[in-house]
Structure 1
Amino acid sequence: MRLHWLLAGLMSAALWTAPPAVRAQTPPSAATPAATEIVEKRSFELAGHTLRNGTTLPTLRIGYQTAGTLNAAGDNAVLVAHFFSGNSHAFGRYAADQPPGYWDAIVGPGRAIDTNRYFVVSSDTLVNLNVRDGRTVTTGPVSMNPATGRHWGTDFPVVSMRDFIEVQKKLLDSLGVRRLALVTGPSMGALQAIEWAAAYPEMIDRVMPVIGGGEIDPWMLNWLDIWEAPIRLDPNWRGGDYYAQGREPPVAGLAAALKIVTVHAQDRPALARFGRAIPDGQDPARRLADRFEAERAIDEAAMARARMSDANHFLYLTRANQLFLNEYPSTEAALARSRARWLVVASPTDRVFLMEANRDLLATLQRVGRPAELAEVTGPLGHLNGVVGMAPLAERIRAFLAAN
């Protein structure tokens, strides 16, 4: 159970994998309905897609899933964008014996985002971290470059948050979506939702960024640089050139990077359960190499996660985050383009996107004349409250969707 919980902080966590303290915070009135939809992972492909920096990718693929039915007008769609280490599995199950998506508590039949009413779409991003998990579909450095017959590596062009949106836009076009009743997502998904609101304001009715913020300021730029530093310092990284036969990937560096993300994304109570326990056979008071249980457990989870991921994809994702709203002179200029109603959801104990950053986002939205309100998602997990603790906000989300 402990490993499952820690992996939940690293992967597309679902409420069922959360520790008892998280599950216990969900009151009966907000409990998830028993039925969970079976969803299908599909693949979307494009040829000759030009990125915002002018580079053209000869081919690209992303995975996606849907639930519900698109109406004749094409205007009852909801887009759910995923967090940094997530993928398209935001809701439903791939099979009856498989775990549900990370937001299944609020997306599905009769839930806050009701798939009996809305056509809900969630897609993998380009350069998705989960490229080796056997389920995620993505194009990035690990993909084959058709011009060379070799893996792209760091010859793959830099992609921005806006590039994620442009690929999603083409996916939605292919599905017949003309308007989004809501665009939402947690963490990096919140940044994508905000980028959507600036890029296609005429297409969006409501925006709900969850555990995000209105800018990647110098403080956050440096945190992202700290996240990726262990990869760059791993001698196996070789400047991103580690795909050739006989070369070892920088798994140790990637695991260390994921450990930083995991601790950064949780609050103190989330790890307090370890106390100062010491694993059998370890004695940190006598040997410098010995560990505390809190260290060992997260190391184990991070290494398991690293083996399903790719280090270059991690670096490309951090850069895409650093390029959030990079085409606008300021956050205010970007948000001034929006015509939508907003619900900003923040975790008071978030150590990644601080509460004050969300208050700044709310103030900016109000300053540019957007109807906007703030809701808090609480629990012991800090930033991750917005991934696994959304069920208590179900009625608030329903009211937001019903507001004119």
Structure 2
Amino acid sequence: MTTRRGLLTAAALLAASPAMAQEVVEKKVFEAGDFRTRGGASIPNTRIGYQTMGTLNAAGDNAVLICHFFSGNSHAFGRLQPGGPAGYWDAIIGPGKAIDTERYFVVSADTLVNVNVPDANTVTTGPASINPDTGRPWGMSFPVIAMRDFVEVQKRLLDSLGVKRLALVAGPSNGGLQSIEWAAAYPDFVQRAMPVIAADIDAWMQGWLDVWESPIRLDPNWREGDYYGQGREPPLRGLAEAWKVVTLQAVDRAFTGQFDRKLPEGQDPARRIGDRFAIEKWLDDRAMARAKTTDANSFLYMVRANQLFLNDYPGVQAALEGAARRWLVIPAPNDRVFVSDGTKQFIELLRKAGKQVEAAEVTGPMGHLNGVVGMAPVADRIRAFLAE
């Protein structure tokens, strides 16, 4: 995830305009209590983190829910501290922006089994959490989580906040999938859905998700998920290789062109088989840095949640038949994760189901990640969609 860091000091921020001061948001914790999964298992003491901006109206119907991508968390907008980095969709969420927090009450929440367990700004329940029956981390005994389980915990959160209807549910990638799941599960609760860089999880995509996670299972330090004990090393190498696959698939060839025919200092792959090309070193460094801030078991559980997208329905068409009516679908034409033909097919399925569908595109050299870091150019389309 790419973020930008604010230049204001804490003192300068306090002296800034009310609109600027409002950009600082508080990370909160929702205690969801005992939760029964779609698979029938019970999870005690379920918790997720969330943040809000704006004010809920008396009718409770001006709420917007933002769902995060695979490796993200609730930090979609604002800053968690003065001068800190802005949320990934800060370009379109805030006072006077496309999703205007002077009009809408915007909520963004961490998912269950969030991969960012080591991050203090992430609150989640998953395999790294303590099982109260054993006093030890759940590991792979944690119940299987489906995409619909993300939605059901978020629904509890929204109910606790007094939300009666969502004016919009939106998000990129995994967040877009959650948006679709929301629209199918609660069509009367969701007025509009805006999945970004997301479509169906078909067998081809399920297979890619298996490729993503395979290096973790092959790392001997994984120990079938039992690596949390004292003196045991986490499967960092396998997790880094997993992030390497995700990272390369998430960017476009145009982005990687900067590494063409370049070699790190002291490296000569034409002479020594162990030496690296610049693209390899970039992937190695980026993936290992990400591995050190995430949890391998949570990665596996997040993969399975994606593979169980719309699992309550016999197929995507059946799910969409009863879904919410109004849609804005935003793909990236150079997306290597949710490829163009799959997105076009998804839009046609929506239209076949009789939905009111608009489409816009996010473009740029970042491929799939255009839907995370490149949303500013489609701000007017989003604003118009909300005004209809």
TM over 0.5: yes
| Structure-2 residue corresponding to 1:203 | 189
- Partner of residue 392 from structure 1, selected from 369, 377, 386: 377
**Match of 1:207, as an amino acid?**
A
Asked whether the 8 Å contact 1:35–1:109 carries over to 2, the reply is no
- Answering whether residue 116 of structure 2 is matched by residue 130 of structure 1, we say yes
- Answering whether residue 19 of structure 2 is matched by residue 14 of structure 1, we say no
Output the CA distance in 1 between the equivalents of 2:164 and 2:20: 32
Output the CA distance in 2 between the equivalents of 1:203 and 1:248: 45
Q: Counterparts in 2 of 1:275-286, with a 5 A limit?
A: 275-286=260-271
Output the CA distance in 2 between the equivalents of 1:83 and 1:339: 21
| Structure-2 residue corresponding to 1:370 | 355
| Structure-1 residue corresponding to 2:335 | 350
Computed over aligned residues only, the root mean square deviation of the Cα atoms, in angstroms, reads: 1.3
Output the CA distance in 2 between the equivalents of 1:232 and 1:70: 45
Asked whether the 8 Å contact 1:15–1:388 carries over to 2, the reply is no
The alignment-based identity, stated in percent, is 63
- Answering whether residue 259 of structure 2 is matched by residue 274 of structure 1, we say yes
Query: Offset at 1:46?
Result: 2.0
CA 1:15/1:400 → structure 2, altered by over 3 Å: closer, same or farther? farther
Deviations 1:117-159 (A, max 9, x none): 0000000000001110221000111110000001100000000
Asked whether the 8 Å contact 1:160–1:324 carries over to 2, the reply is yes
- Answering whether residue 120 of structure 2 is matched by residue 143 of structure 1, we say no
Query: Offset at 1:340?
Result: 2.6
CA 1:39/1:270 → structure 2, altered by over 3 Å: closer, same or farther? same
Output the CA distance in 2 between the equivalents of 1:132 and 1:16: 21
Query: Offset at 1:36?
Result: 6.5
The normalised TM-score by structure 1 is: 0.91
Structure scoring higher RCO (CA < 8 A, sep ≥ 6) equals 1
Moved over 6 A (4+): 33-36
Deviations 1:278-304 (A, max 9, x none): 111111111111101111122111111
Name the stretch that deviates more: 177-186 or 333-342.
Answer: 333-342
- Partner of residue 164 from structure 2, selected from 172, 178, 191: 178
Output the CA distance in 2 between the equivalents of 1:71 and 1:269: 45
**Match of 1:89, as an amino acid?**
H
Output the CA distance in 1 between the equivalents of 2:126 and 2:81: 28
- Answering whether residue 281 of structure 2 is matched by residue 296 of structure 1, we say yes
Q: Which runs of 5+ in 2 are unaligned?
A: 7-18
Q: Counterparts in 2 of 1:5-404, with a 5 A limit?
A: 8=1, 13-14=2-3, 37-213=23-199, 215-403=200-388
Output the CA distance in 2 between the equivalents of 1:236 and 1:317: 20
Q: Which runs of 5+ in 1 are unaligned?
A: 1-7, 18-32
Aligned residues: 376
Asked whether the 8 Å contact 1:74–1:178 carries over to 2, the reply is yes
Deviations 1:8-43 (A, max 9, x none): 3xxxx33669xxxxxxxxxxxxxxx97771001000
Output the CA distance in 1 between the equivalents of 2:341 and 2:96: 33
Output the CA distance in 1 between the equivalents of 2:180 and 2:226: 34
1:202 aligns to what SS in structure 2? coil
Deviations 1:152-195 (A, max 9, x none): 00000000000000000000000000100000000000000000
Deviations 1:68-103 (A, max 9, x none): 000000000000000000000000001122100000
Output the CA distance in 2 between the equivalents of 1:70 and 1:117: 9
Asked whether the 8 Å contact 2:113–2:124 carries over to 1, the reply is yes
Asked whether the 8 Å contact 1:93–1:101 carries over to 2, the reply is yes
